[in-house]
Amino acid sequence: MSHDNALTLLLDMLRSEREPCLWIADEHVAGIQKIPVNPVVEVISNRFDVADALSKQGWNSHFSDLDFNHIDDGSLSAVYFRLAKEKALVNHVINQAARILKTGGQLFISGEKQQGIKTYTKKAEQCLAGKAEIKKHANHYLASISRGQLPVTLLDDQSYPLLRSSLQYEGIDIFSKPGQFGWNKPDKGSVLLAQQFAAIQINNPGTILDLGCGYGLLSLAAHRQWPAAEITATDNNAAALISCQQNFNQQDISGDVIADNCAAAITKRHDLVLCNPPFHQGFAVENDLTEQFIATAFRLCNPAGCALFVVNAFIPLERIAKKYFKQQQLLGNDGRFKLFKLFN
């Protein structure tokens, strides 16, 4: 993963913290080798891989959908947060910081100008009823916002923690929530892939793996097409896993929803692997992610089975897939998305 300078600003400060405080660690931390442990810092991450890697290094780290309920009101002296992409998530963190910080405690946020650092700093200043300072370091910024004495003014976090019936696919009500990829509109690429299911020449799969399942759109479509199949869905994002589990329950899908980093702990092979792989990590585009997902699909696909992938047209899937699968068939290309069947 590329080095994130805005995160480094926070890490430098976290190292010298001496009072109980909270660090909200998200995908910007993914791939960082070793971060010196500071025992006064509690870490919360909505990414399984990040929470797991930090725990293994010795950090007091929890995986949750940014659930701060166990932290008492007015109990912390500092909260550290590298800005994330989604507005509802950022507003949720700022609202929660306003609740858990002591009067005079500080919220530290870092990020770049085009990522909205100045706007969020102003909004946090209003929310925390405090005073903000912002400093520029090359092209990134570090802001500190103090918690004032007056009551907080909550920002619109779109009721971040709430699961809701937020979209429909082929007449099915789908549950999802903020904090995950495309939570309130079905991904066009995934819909294109799902529409191919009926036409694809494959034997009825007994087992299906939905790799990077999100709220489970591909699983839901696969369940319609192959109702007897056992489906395993896996993702590393907490909001996605909560939503997907709810959709499995709601549609009575037989199978498991598993928190994991690109299915690293899964060993069972499946007749069919479905995947719309991620290519962003935070604000950056990460080409290695595509390869990681193709390699995993290859590892977890039965020798006589196949994997169905959808990717953005600019992703060189053909070249990468060649390293793993013997055969590939282009099932469609609408100029924006390419669909592939990969097999041996």
Ligand X SMILES: C[S@@+](CC[C@H](N)C(=O)[O-])C[C@H]1O[C@@H](n2cnc3c(N)ncnc32)[C@H](O)[C@@H]1O
Q: Which of 61, 207, 232, 237 binds ligand X (CB under 6 A)?
A: 237
- Least distance (Å) between residue 192 CB and ligand X: 10
Instruction: Give the nearest distance from C-beta 316 to ligand X in angstroms.
Output: 17
Scanning residues 86 to 125, which ones bind ligand X (CB under 6 A)?
none
Considering only 15-23, 53-61, 69-77, 236-244, which stretch makes contact with ligand X by CB under 6 A? 236-244
Which of positions 258-277 make contact with ligand X (CB under 6 A)?
A: 261-262, 276
**Residue 214: CB minimum distance to ligand X, A:** 3
Is residue 166 within 8 A of residue 184, CB to CB? The reply is yes
Instruction: Kindly state the helix (H) or strand (E) to which residue 328 belongs, with its residue range.
Output: strand 327-333
Three-class secondary structure assignment of 248-282: HHHCCCCEEEEECCCCCCCCCCEEEEEECCCCEEC
- Residue 187 makes contact with ligand X by CB under 6 A: yes
Alpha helix (H) ranges present in the chain? 5-15, 48-57, 87-100, 117-127, 188-196, 217-225, 238-250, 288-299, 317-322
Which residue among 130, 205, 214, 282 contacts ligand X (CB under 6 A)?
214
What six digits make up the tokens of 161?
């923690």
Q: Is 44 in the site for ligand X (CB under 6 A)?
A: no
* CA–CA gap between residue 103 and residue 109 (Å, rounded): 18
Q: State which residue, 124 or 315, has the beta carbon closest to ligand X.
A: 315
DSSP letter (8 states) at residue 145:
E
Q: Which residue from 97, 240, 257, 301 is in contact with ligand X, where contact means CB under 6 A?
A: 240
Cα separations (Å) of 280 from 181, 288, 312? Answer: 10, 10, 12
Number of residues that bind ligand X (CB under 6 A): 18
Q: Quick check: 218 binds ligand X (CB under 6 A)? A: yes
Q: How far apart are CA 338 and CA 290, in angstroms?
A: 13
Contact pattern for ligand X over residues 165 through 184, marking x by CB under 6 A = ---------------xx---
* Site for ligand X contains 29 (CB under 6 A): no
* Interatomic CA distance for residues 83 and 164, integer angstroms: 25
Q: Which 276-305 residues touch ligand X, going by CB under 6 A? A: 276, 278
Q: In the complex with ligand X, which residue's Cβ is closer, 46 or 110? A: 46
**Residue 247 Cα distances to 62, 205, 243, 250, 270, angstroms:** 24, 21, 6, 5, 21
Cβ within 8 Å of residue 159, ≥6 positions away? none
Please identify which residue in 98, 107, 213, 301 interacts with ligand X, judged by CB under 6 A.
Answer: 213
Cβ proximity to ligand X, 91 vs 276, nearer residue: 276
Q: Given the rule CB under 6 A, which residues bind ligand X?
A: 49, 180-181, 187, 190, 212-214, 217-218, 235-237, 240, 261-262, 276, 278
